[in-house]
Amino acid sequence: MTTPATPPPTTPIRHALTWRTLPALLLNALRGALIGIAELLPGISGGTIALITGVYERLIRSASHVVRAVRRLASGPDRRDGFRDEIRRVEWMLVIPLILGMAVMVLTLAGIVEGLVSSYPEQARGLFFGLVAASIAVPLMMLPRVRHSVGARIGGVAVFVVAAVAAYFAVDLASGSLVAEPPMWAVFLAAMVAVCALVLPGISGSFFLLAVGLYSPTLRAVDELDLGYLAVFAAGALVGLVTIVQVMTWLLNHHRRLTLIAMAGLMLGSLRALWPWQTMPAGESHGIGALAAPADPILGPILLALLGAAIVAALVFAEKRLHARSAAAHPPVPVSV
């Protein structure tokens, strides 16, 4: 008698580094570039882009293995072997090109993003609105396909609504004024919180930086390669990432359905910040304003919103095709029992 066996979800499938892997490496670098762009722009989460491009859970697992590797090396047991075992479980052919893609985009675009968003705020928000609105379907498509009781369904709807309302009102926090020379302890703490955008779809790290007045200083530090500022920011982000990754891994493992529903709710609530037509406070050219009725320009933001939705649909379709092709190339191996 045989039963199908598949690799455990925490163990990535290994591939030899050949010319055949080049398209996958380039695709992962493109995914990283998109995440990097998202991290630069208030109103869109890098975690959202990771979900859209189909790498969210793989990144969470890889980051979790890195954290476990450091923990095993520091406290054991079997420090060397434990460290090596955890490091081998990291999907390096995903992580390395993705990080490189992010770095290239952040270093290249940080100096001009603020100006572009300020010059074309309605068009930029229109594009992001369409992208995020369409991407709400992504975590919902990842829900386990099983029947649930009426109570479980009501609970799911409640979680979705609460998450959406919380994200909607949290958006209003992103209205802080510029801090010209922020203290380094504030930069460290802000980075710890802002890094949530990498692991929580619908939560924008740039929004939080705006709220505490560190958005422009951070972009300026990246553009000018202020290594002191960047080192403190990176240290805070690392501490926040290590702690939050463990929480997200636990939630996805133990409460997958409700976690995915909450993600969709957060993404819905974040649309509050991406409504193209907003009345900005006096002296502000971009950020969060009061919702307003559509006014000139109208056609541009609408067309860009449709383009954003089309991009998401294309990415989801491409990811499904890629997944199907990968499954066909690596079918389950029957084993005797």
Write out the H or E segment, with its range, that includes residue 78: none
Question: Which of these, 195, 41, 241, lies nearest to 127 by C-alpha position?
Answer: 41
Buried b (16+ CB within 10 A) or exposed e, 9-30: eeebeeeeeeeeeeeebebbbe
209 by Cβ neighbours in 10 Å (0-12 / 13-18 / 19+) ranks as buried
Average pLDDT on 257-266 reads: 89
Q: Are 203 and 47 in contact (CB under 8 A)?
A: yes
Q: What is the pLDDT of residues 204-242, one digit of tens each?
A: 677 677 666 777 788 888 888 889 999 999 999 888 877
Local confidence band at 287 (pLDDT 50, 70, 90 cut-offs): low
Q: Is the peptide bond before 183 cis (omega within 30 degrees of 0)?
A: no
Q: Residue 268 is which amino acid?
A: L
Domain ranges of the chain: 2-11+22-336
What is the reported pLDDT for 54? 77
Q: What is the pLDDT of residues 43-88, one digit of tens each?
A: 566 777 787 777 887 888 888 888 888 888 887 777 888 888 888 8
Q: What is the pLDDT of residues 140-179, one digit of tens each?
A: 887 888 888 888 889 999 999 999 998 888 776 655 545 5
